[in-house]
Amino acid sequence: MSLTLHGYFRSSAAYRVRIALNLKGLSYEQASVHLRKGEQRKPAFLALNPQGMVPALIDGEAVLTQSPAILEYLDEVYPDTPPLLPADPLGRARVRALAAVVACDIHPLNNLRVLKYLTGPMGQSQETMAGWYNHWIAEGFGALETMLSGDAATGRFCHGDAPTLADVCLAPQVFNSFRHALDLTPYPTIQRLWEGYQDHPAFAAAHPAKQPDAE
């Protein structure tokens, strides 16, 4: 089998998939799609993903898009690798809910196309944009902090002592929050988890600064 990840070093969604591939010990090629230069809207990439967004994962003949779908696919198709979801249905639901707080309620509001729309067609200042950016991260992190700190299921990672889809989504979002210098002090559990990610080889190797297209 051959895996190729079309991504971008700073894309949170591509970063998630890199972590998952690393956690599962799957080797993969990387193809960089330069989002700031608009390569995601070129015909060659749109043929892979009509949405014009990264990541797209090529697995043999198949093209997979949307990181939440890719993460579930990897967990289903490579079951002999470390699982990204716990075995029990309520645990799976908890992990998926934590992941969705990031993937549905924080990240979509802060990705590049949205920020460009705010500062472009809507004519907002950089300062207003930065306020928007940090507002939605703080909303989400506040809820996540309560969900994590108030539940005995939280361990060294979001759910127990092994990484799950929740960590796969949270790590890129914490990295992302540094962009406009969000203060993480109100979120001690999230900070502790982030520090743990630094010590884990699968997370460390997926860090944007370590990617071939890092600037």
Query: What separation in angstroms does the CA of 153 have from each of 11, 41, 131?
Result: 29, 42, 33
Q: Is 43 in the site for its own copies (CB under 8 A)?
A: no
How many helices (H) and strands (E) the chain has is answered by 9, 4
Whether the CB-CB separation of 51 and 64 falls below 8 Å is answered with no
Looking at the DSSP bridge assignments, the partners of residue 64 are 57
Q: Is 119 in the site for its own copies (CB under 8 A)?
A: no
How many residues of this chain bind its own copies (CB under 8 A)?
A: 48
Angstrom distance (rounded) from CA 144 to CA 187: 9
Angstrom distance (rounded) from CA 50 to CA 56: 11
Q: Is 117 in the site for its own copies (CB under 8 A)?
A: yes
Q: Is 108 in the site for its own copies (CB under 8 A)?
A: yes
Q: Is 2 in the site for its own copies (CB under 8 A)?
A: no
Q: Is 51 in the site for its own copies (CB under 8 A)?
A: yes
Q: Is 122 in the site for its own copies (CB under 8 A)?
A: yes
One symbol per residue from 125 to 164: x for binding its own copies (CB under 8 A), - otherwise; what is it?
---x--xx--x---xx--x--xx--x--------------
Closer of 2 and 51 to its own copies (Cβ): 51
Whether the CB-CB separation of 150 and 176 falls below 8 Å is answered with no
- Choosing from 25, 29, 97, 192, the residue that interacts with its own copies (CB under 8 A) is 97
Whether the CB-CB separation of 145 and 187 falls below 8 Å is answered with yes
* Min dist. Cβ of residue 88 to its own copies (A): 10
* Min dist. Cβ of residue 10 to its own copies (A): 18
- Choosing from 103, 115, 137, 171, the residue that interacts with its own copies (CB under 8 A) is 103
* Min dist. Cβ of residue 198 to its own copies (A): 26
Q: Is 4 helix (H, G, I), strand (E, B) or coil?
A: strand
Q: Is 63 helix (H, G, I), strand (E, B) or coil?
A: strand
Angstrom distance (rounded) from CA 111 to CA 113: 6
Q: 201: which residues sit within 8 A by CB, 6+ positions away?
A: 22
Residues forming the site for its own copies (CB under 8 A): 50-53, 62, 64-70, 72-73, 76-77, 89-90, 92-94, 96-97, 99-101, 103-105, 107-109, 113-114, 117, 121-122, 124, 128, 131-132, 135, 139-140, 143, 146-147, 150
